[in-house]
Amino acid sequence: MKPAPFHYERPTSLAEALDLLAADGVETKALAGGQSLVPLMNLRLARPDVLVDLDAVAELRGISRSGDQVRIGALTRHEQTATDALVRERLPLLAHAAVHIGHRAIRTRGTLGGSLAHADPAAELPVASLALGAEVDVASARGARTIPIAELFDGPLSTTVADDELIVAVRYPVDAGRRPFGFAELARRHGDFALTVAAVTLSVDGDGGCRAATVALGGIGGSPRLVGPAARALIGTRIDPAAVELAVASVDDAVRPVADLHGSVAYRRAMAALLTRQAIAMARGAR
């Protein structure tokens, strides 16, 4: 239960970190909060040659409002995402989701960038970020680009971020952030990874008509993802019981759960439907 030897680097600028990640012929990994990578290294499921500790890279920090977006640095700890005044005010869904992660001793270390890059299929922040329509800024020694969150996840524990790229920041539209939201998850014990997670945002006009909606789920087999048909089942309706049932049926079509120690396929399907219903109800109630 001890990690294999590695070479440790602690760059103090983004450029220096990206140069280290660009090196050929050695397996180089970024270390953010270490709450997913270090368990894998202790179990020797990961054995990087070089570890690039991001902790001293100032460009990866900070939470700020710029125009119609809130920008959150990749190195922002879950505890900060859960408690920061700007996040709580402008992106309450994200703050709410962050509180559900593990325990305080995990949240004081784990980071937003690490959670998105690790891409656990049932992690909270990926699902909340999908529902909010985030944009992910990545950079490498080759240049910078932006990945829409819907194109970030590429199967369980896999993303479209290249090995030499770093997530620098995540940008969230304030417009989606201010919508009423719902969030529901099923975990065996408090602080455990969820089996299934659902997040919903609704935009409702004065007459109760639904103008826009997003429905995102995790822990449903494959990557966490947006369920477009479920959102479309709600848009243009008054979110009456028939529309909700249609949305839930779309979720049932979209999930591909796999049976494991924690639940059968039928159980996981039932939970995805139930959590979707709960998240929609919470979003409606919050209006």
Partner 1 sequence: MRCTVNGTSHRLDVEPRRLAVDVLRENLGLTGTHAGCEHGVCGACTILLDGEPVRSCLLFAPQLDGRDVRTVEGLAGPGDELHPLQQSFGAHHGLQCGFCTPGMLLTALDLLGHNPTPTRDEVREALSANLCRCTGYQQIVDAVMDSSRGGAFDCT
Q: How many angstroms separate the CA atoms of 282 and 269, rounded?
A: 20
Q: Which of 34, 156, 180, 222 binds ligand FAD (CB under 6 A)?
A: 34
Residues near partner 1 (CB under 8 A) are 1-8, 10, 31, 34-35, 38-39, 42-43, 51, 53, 55, 79, 102-106, 108-109, 189-191
**Size of the residue set binding ligand FAD (CB under 6 A):** 29
Q: How many angstroms separate the CA atoms of 20 and 10, rounded?
A: 10
1 binds, among ligand FAD, partner 1, none (CB under 5 to 8 A by kind): partner 1
Q: How many angstroms separate the CA atoms of 18 and 209, rounded?
A: 48
Q: State the nearest-atom distance from the C-beta of 92 to partner 1, in Å.
A: 20
173 binds, among ligand FAD, partner 1, none (CB under 5 to 8 A by kind): none
DSSP reduced 3-state for 274: helix
6 binds, among ligand FAD, partner 1, none (CB under 5 to 8 A by kind): partner 1
74 binds, among ligand FAD, partner 1, none (CB under 5 to 8 A by kind): ligand FAD
Burial 205-215, CB ≥16 within 10 A → b, else e = eeeeebebbbb
Q: State the nearest-atom distance from the C-beta of 185 to partner 1, in Å.
A: 15
CB-based contact 276:231 (threshold 8 Å)? no
Q: How many angstroms separate the CA atoms of 30 and 65, rounded?
A: 27
By C-beta, is 106 or 174 nearer to partner 1? 106
By C-beta, is 34 or 229 nearer to partner 1? 34
Q: How many angstroms separate the CA atoms of 9 and 207, rounded?
A: 57
Angle between helices 124-132 and 92-99 (to 10 degrees): 170
65 binds, among partner 1, ligand FAD, none (CB under 5 to 8 A by kind): none
User: Per CB under 6 A, does 32 bind ligand FAD?
Assistant: yes
Q: How many angstroms separate the CA atoms of 12 and 9, rounded?
A: 10
Q: How many angstroms separate the CA atoms of 102 and 100, rounded?
A: 6
Q: How many angstroms separate the CA atoms of 261 and 269, rounded?
A: 15
Residues 6+ apart with CB under 8 A from 245: none
Return the residues of window 162-191 that contact ligand FAD according to CB under 6 A: 166-167
Q: Which of 128, 161, 247, 275 binds ligand FAD (CB under 6 A)?
A: 161
By C-beta, is 5 or 285 nearer to partner 1? 5
Q: State the nearest-atom distance from the C-beta of 42 to ligand FAD, in Å.
A: 10
51 binds, among partner 1, ligand FAD, none (CB under 5 to 8 A by kind): partner 1
User: Per CB under 6 A, does 74 bind ligand FAD?
Assistant: yes
CB-based contact 244:285 (threshold 8 Å)? no
Instruction: Give the residues lining the site for ligand FAD (CB under 6 A).
Output: 29-37, 39, 74, 101-102, 106, 109-111, 113-115, 117-118, 120, 123-124, 161, 166-167, 193
